[in-house]
């Protein structure tokens, strides 16, 4: 199985083009005002057009209401919705029915107890994204640049495809994949020079490292 690489929080035509040309499988766009990566609907529309089916477009939202999601659907026409809040299993089911799009549910992880929600989400979601649980005083649930204990996923028996996120960068993604056996990786702050500012060289380095890791795993 090929490794899926998602570059999330893209917000300029230049860095989006870098990610696409470097071979990203998924490109993520954040629609959540507290995030430094938040996009206006107008910019989301422009960036979405730039993708031209070269990668899957992922819309990241946090407990968004139907009106907000309708607007995102109209502007970006995402291939996947990434739900990064406290959305319930019933909410996932409703959104899949409403929009006819796959749903990736982010599950914040700090301890083994955080994995108890998996059976419910796995029955509805198309993919799970494991991310580091944010501190209690954080203003947003992800993109904080901190990894979680990957060993919590070592004995994971999940039939659903899953990705790992949280504090990944070019130097540690191989170890993250070795421990978690994930089929994909998702990076945002790990390819930034400052919060919300993507670095083209770091994007390229992350994708090179991901492909090198993939090649080693199939030998």
Digit-coded pLDDT (tens) for 159-190: 999 999 999 999 999 999 999 999 999 999 99
The 10s digit of each residue's pLDDT in 115-133 is 999 999 999 999 999 999 8
- Model confidence band, residue 136 (pLDDT cutoffs 50, 70, 90): low
Q: What is the pLDDT of residue 219?
A: 45
Q: Looking at the predicted structure, is the pLDDT value of residue 141 above 70?
A: no
Pairing of strands 197-198, 192-194: antiparallel
What is the torsional sign of CA 199, 202, 206, 211? positive
Q: What is the pLDDT of residue 2?
A: 86
Q: Looking at the predicted structure, is the pLDDT value of residue 142 above 90?
A: no
Q: Looking at the predicted structure, is the pLDDT value of residue 139 above 60?
A: no
Catalytic positions, written as ranges = 8, 131
pTM (2 d.p.): 0.93
End-to-end, the C-alpha distance of the chain in Å comes to 13
Q: How many residues does the chain have?
A: 219
Both tokens assigned to 37: 């990566």
Name the CA radius of gyration of the chain, rounded.
Answer: 16
- Model confidence band, residue 214 (pLDDT cutoffs 50, 70, 90): confident
Which residue spans within 31-173 are E strands per DSSP? 56-61, 80-83, 103-109, 127-132, 162-164
Strand-pair partners of 192 = 198
The 10s digit of each residue's pLDDT in 93-113 is 999 999 999 999 999 999 999
């Amino acid at each position: 199985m090929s490794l899926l690489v998602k570059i999330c929080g893209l917000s300029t035509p230049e860095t989006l083009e870098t990610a696409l040309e470097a071979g990203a499988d998924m490109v993520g766009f954040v629609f959540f005002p507290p995030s430094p990566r938040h996009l206006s609907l107008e910019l989301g529309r422009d960036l979405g057009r730039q993708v031209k089916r070269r990668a899957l477009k992922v819309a990241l939202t946090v407990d968004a209401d139907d009106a907000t999601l309708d607007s995102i659907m109209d502007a970006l026409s995402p291939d996947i919705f990434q739900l990064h809040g406290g959305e319930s299993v019933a909410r996932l089911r409703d959104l899949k029915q409403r929009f006819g799009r796959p749903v990736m549910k982010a599950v914040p992880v700090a301890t083994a107890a955080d994995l108890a929600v998996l059976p419910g989400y796995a029955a509805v979601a198309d993919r799970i994204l494991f991310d580091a649980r944010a501190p209690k005083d954080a203003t947003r649930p992800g993109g904080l640049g901190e990894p979680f204990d990957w060993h919590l996923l070592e004995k994971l028996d999940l039939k659903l495809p899953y990705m790992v996120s949280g504090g990944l960068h070019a130097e540690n993604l191989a170890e993250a994949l070795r421990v978690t056996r994930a089929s994909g990786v998702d990076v945002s702050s790990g390819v930034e020079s400052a919060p919300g500012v993507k670095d083209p060289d770091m994007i390229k380095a992350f994708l090179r490292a991901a492909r090198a890791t993939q090649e080693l795993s199939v030998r």
